[in-house]
Structure 1
Amino acid sequence: HKHGLLLIKAGMYDNVIRVLVPLDVTDDQVRQALGILDAAFAEVAGAVPSSTI
């Protein structure tokens, strides 16, 4: 939310990320959303000790 991307967690163990986009989403908006996700994954991966990944 703080980076402008809203996601819904799903799955039995909340291990699925659902991305809901409007039908008229542009390529640039998709690229921006994927960039936000990539940055978030990198931030989280840096916070977890490598022995637990």
Structure 2
Amino acid sequence: MTTEIRNWAVVAALMEAQGATNSQMYIRAKALAEGKSDPMPTSFPAAPFSISTV
């Protein structure tokens, strides 16, 4: 488990403990903590070049 995935797992767990599971941030934290793709775009409208690979 990478540090980034562990951090997202902490965020997701804290949000669950507070009952804050109805937000896009929770959905993002949960997906990333489970090693899934990021469900949120990096920008809107989409950037011409991916900023996640920099």
Give the TM bin, normalised by the shorter chain. 0.3 to 0.5
User: Which structure's CA Rg is the greater one?
Assistant: 1
Q: TM-score, normalised by structure 2?
A: 0.35
